[in-house]
Amino acid sequence: MAETHDGKYKIPGQEDEDDLEHLLLQGVTLQQKTQPGTHSQILSPEEDEELSSDSDIQGSLGLYAEAAQDMATASVELGLGRHFACADFCNQAAEKAAQSVSLLRSGRRSRYNHDLRALGSLVGAPKEIQDELTVLTPFHPEAFYADTPPEEADAIISAEQASSYIQSARKVMRWAKTIVLA
């Protein structure tokens, strides 16, 4: 644990949660600037060359926040032994994280057919992230239930596999965070 400037201790990764909690509770404006000691800064399109004139910053932040909520739910589902539900929420979190990048860059969600790797390609994700998205693609319920009866879903995915899906989704989340909250 790291000690903060006020002598308190923070759990590793807690800063990300604190930033997200602040965004969820207080929202952002285009004029908002970073406070000393924080990591995120919201720029107007004129200040960031990567953003198009159609960029949807608010939508992007909102969708990233939903992705973060899905990650929290995935962890709860894992703890409850609901392994398919965990994998499904990881799939949803990764999709929302990638779509948050699309909203930021183009002002709209990218069209795709539940192939997360294809979505990653559309939004310019690096190969490593596309590989993580490939791992999570099979857990869209329509695709998964096409070959697996719902009553067998949790038995097919082990706790170890579900935990690895959480790690894959977290990698996608970290990548999207560097873009959306940068």
Report the C-alpha gap between 77 and 143 in whole angstroms: 20
Report the C-alpha gap between 122 and 119 in whole angstroms: 5
Question: What are the structural domains of the chain?
Answer: 55-182 (1.20.120.330)
Q: Say if residue 9 is exposed, middle or buried (CB neighbours under 10 Å; 0-12, 13-18, 19+).
A: exposed
pTM of the model: 0.71
- At 72-117, the pLDDT tens digits run 999 999 999 999 999 999 999 999 999 999 999 988 898 878 899 9
Query: CA separation (Å) from 105 to 35, 43, 178, 179?
Result: 24, 13, 13, 9
DSSP string of 58-107, one letter each residue: HHHHHHHHHHHHHHHHHHHHHHTT-HHHHHHHHHHHHHHHHHHHHHHHHS
- At 10-31, the pLDDT tens digits run 444 455 566 666 555 555 544 4
Residue 139 is predicted with a pLDDT of: 94
